[in-house]
Structure 1
């Protein structure tokens, strides 16, 4: 590792986790052999395809909303054409549907961005928490598709997209599981940069981002449950100028179709919040993490908030949670930018950082930010890496 840092200028002082020929974690190399490495690469490729598929679906939803076009099977289900649907309440019902779909598209793009970062960095490094994050977020995202049982409308295109991505996702989990060191149960510890992490600039920024993630989870679950039950909140009905009974009188299938859009956005929002929380909680502070979180959050908030003034839905009580989340996220990103992008050594105890950049690692029992109480372990010469394949930077 030391020779790698000296001979390879592309390896800055930072967090190096994975090398050709094996994975090195906390001072103990885990040799998987060529077959395990090929299996891990294949699994990562499947996750990458899932990420691109989600981002493509999100862009399609945004394009559809921006052009004001409806899917043919939606119109067939309603038994009316686009002109009839857009004519209801001067287009406000159609605008309401597009605002849910645009928000859903932004959430899918955010999930895809975080999936790409997870696949490219922590999963490539053999960090078990990344695998558990893929598992938990997949259960949340794919599981929310079953919400159609609550509103009675099965979107055939949504179903086909789910069936196309689900085998890739399951294959990625299966192919990467064997090459990652697992504990009997998933770890849930905070990689705090110091014992008083909340007093540092980075700690305060991470705290705000964690709060944003929790808010996304809570908000997404709330929207999902509303979509499965009552469908509308009072602000929605005031915007459309109709009651739920009026919509049912227009078409008994209109409310289930709107409920499908609501529940889909809620499930995607909750999944995005879960990903954000776990990436910030477990991920090592780095420039790549900051960029991924910034891009994902920008995609989510800009679409969810920006679509409202475009359709004239600007009631403050409806948008207040989104405004608060965007404020917390923006301040958190600003606070984290300096420590994570310019000087990663400030994000952790100086001794720990120096040890890692010299090829040392803390023993498994030691916590980040706490001075080691036993001698640091040094990798033997026959296990030392020749080059850096992947790293946080």
Structure 2
């Protein structure tokens, strides 16, 4: 007589924390795609229209570049969601599946800071109900995944695992120089995200933004007193996403074993981030060189780093060859 498997579907799928964390990554990717597509369509979300008391078409009749600017922030934010979601899927399906302690701590730190960045709305006074409800639904899934994955370790994950470096890298070698470029890129993304988040919480606009929209700071209040808080929300959210991505990539580079899948996820994550962040500026004709220079430099450094590390990381060696 055959023995029946009495487990439930959800029990089977979500008995391991890894699956819940993978699910979180998938939801973030789909959310990023949704935000990007919605922006390309050229419509505000219903709660945005309700908050402003005007839709994108009405605002566009006053100043189309303001609408373009708002969508440029949202497409950039969508790119960060796709990027961090992809990184979470990789973290869950590769190092965490192999019970590598550092991966659990990267999830913990990145998730804590990423979800906490939603609280930046306190700085600009606009509560995004969609963002809030989505976070409230996703946070329990994420932290349940963290809890279950923590319990699955035979030896509880030590924070010191983040301090260790998997491979000793000779920074004078080709591969080592490539890793140095990737380290600098990740630090630049982290600092850039922090700056953008602070800007979104304080004065919101930089001079290049005002020049593009042919506006002064006080002009926004005359058009709609709720316009700046909404724009500030988008800016701070984008900055929070970048901050989380930068930290995640830094620790992945530092602690992850150099493999083909690690190189591939870095290529995917960095490409999505830079293509969305830079490309949208060309779509809306916001081409200030001083505004885009940090992004140009970051993209160049990232892809130089990826090129220089490609051979060593895709050879499927157990250890990184640092003499290339």
Same fold (TM over 0.5): yes
Q: Is 1:155–2:128 an aligned residue pair?
A: yes
Partner SS, residue 80 of structure 1: coil
Aligned residue in 2 for 1:69: 43
Displacement, 1:192? 2.9
Q: CA deviation at 1:182?
A: 3.4
| Alpha-carbon distance in 2 for matches of 1:71, 1:184 | 43
CA contact (8 A) 2:258 2:319 kept: no
Aligned position for 2:202: 229
Q: 1:42 aligned to 2:16? A: yes
Aligned to 2:119: 146
> Which residue is equivalent to 1:367?
none
Match of 2:59 in 1: 85
Cα distance, 1:341–1:318 mapped onto 2, change above 3 Å: same
Task: Indicate the residue corresponding to 1:210 in structure 2.
Answer: 183
Aligned to 2:77: 104
Contact 1:239 1:313 in 2 (8 A): yes
Aligned equivalents of 2:158, 2:318: Cα separation in 1: 31
- The structure number with the bigger radius of gyration is 1
**What is the CA distance between 1:249 and its match in structure 2?**
1.1
Q: Does 1:289 align with 2:262?
A: yes
The SS at the match of 2:44 is coil
RCO higher in structure (CA 8 A, sep ≥6)? 1
Shift, 1:306, TM fit: 0.1
Change (3 A) 1:172 1:183: closer
> How far apart, in 2, do the equivalents of 1:345 and 1:44 lie?
24
C-alpha distance in structure 1 between counterparts of 2:317 and 2:22, whole Å: 27
- State TM-score, norm by structure 2: 0.92
- Structure 1: runs of 5+ lacking an equivalent: 1-37, 351-393
Name the structure 2 match of 1:52. Answer: 26
Cα separation, partners in 2 of 1:83 and 1:185, compared to 1, 3 Å? closer
Secondary structure of the residue aligned to 2:160 is coil
Structure 2 contact 260–316 (Cα < 8 Å) conserved: no
Q: What 5-or-longer segments of structure 2 have no aligned partner?
A: 1-11
State the distance in 1 between where 2:306 and 2:121 align: 36
Q: Structure 1 CA distance, aligned partners of 2:157 and 2:16?
A: 23
1:269 to 242, 247, 250: 242
Q: Distance in 1 between matches of 2:288 and 2:182?
A: 26
Work out the CA distance in 2 between the residues paired with 1:220 and 1:257: 18
Residues 40 and 179, structure 1, Cα contact 8 Å, conserved in 2: no
Q: How far apart are residue 210 of structure 1 and its match?
A: 1.1
Higher helix share: 2
Residue 346 of structure 1: how far off its partner (Å): 6.3
CA contact (8 A) 2:312 2:321 kept: no
1:62–1:102 CA contact under 8 A, matched in 2: yes
* Runs of 4+ residues over 4 Å off in structure 1: 38-41
In 1, Cα distance between equivalents of 2:322 and 2:267: 25
Q: Matched residues in 2 for 1:342 and 1:230: separation?
A: 48
CA distance in 1, matches of 2:212, 2:106: 38
Which residue in 2 is equivalent to 1:324?
A: 297
1:229-256: CA deviation from partner (whole Å, max 9, x where unpaired): 0000111000000011000111110000
